[in-house]
Amino acid sequence: MICQPDTQSSCCRFLTRACLGGLLFIQLSACGAREKPPAFAAKLVPVSGVVTFKKAPLANAAITFFPTGNDAVRAAYGLTDESGKYSLMTPISGLSQDQCQGVVPGTYRVIVSKLIMADGTEIPKTLTTADALQQGAKESIPSKFSNEAGSVLKTEIQKETPRTDLNFAL
């Protein structure tokens, strides 16, 4: 029997559902498929610390480690809390956030950035960075710390270190 669009036979409904179910199964299976993590994932060194600006904890700032040498392969990111504390993670496809905690050993340029609204207030949590920039948000940290090309902050993360605590006083 050939299914016609206007035919409501149970055979046609069954075949349609079976095909759609098969496609859904294939899509869900592909979503769960993971490649083997890169070798550097096993070498991540936990990195945390405190960022201060003008001798006060710097809250709600982004801290980024950009690789500068050939040994570091990925950037690492973190956000400071209300007391200026941060911990870094290196995003790796297929791994959970907990599995990505840390930094690949190597040399880095460190960027600390905190956007504020044009009137000097904090960016509302309801705004994305792009929306805030459209509404006139500006960088509150001097470019010698917040500019990727010109930051004077540099560090090296050593291999086989159980944990690295790095504090930055801006």
Model pLDDT, residue 6? 44
- CATH code, residues 39-169: 2.60.40.1120
Give the Cα separation of 66 and 88 in Å (integer).
12
Model pLDDT, residue 58? 97
Per residue of the chain (170 residues), give pLDDT as tens: 444 444 444 333 333 343 334 433 333 333 344 567 788 888 899 999 999 999 999 999 999 999 997 765 789 999 999 999 999 999 998 888 889 999 999 999 999 999 999 999 999 989 998 999 999 999 999 999 999 888 999 999 988 778 889 999 99
pTM for the full predicted model: 0.74
Answer whether 149's CB lies under 8 Å from 143's CB: no
- The DSSP string of 100-133 is GBSB-SEEEEEEEE-EE-TTSPPPPTTS-HHHHH
Domain residue limits, the chain? 1-33, 39-169
β-strand pairing of 47-53 with 164-165: parallel
Model pLDDT, residue 22? 41
Model pLDDT, residue 27? 38
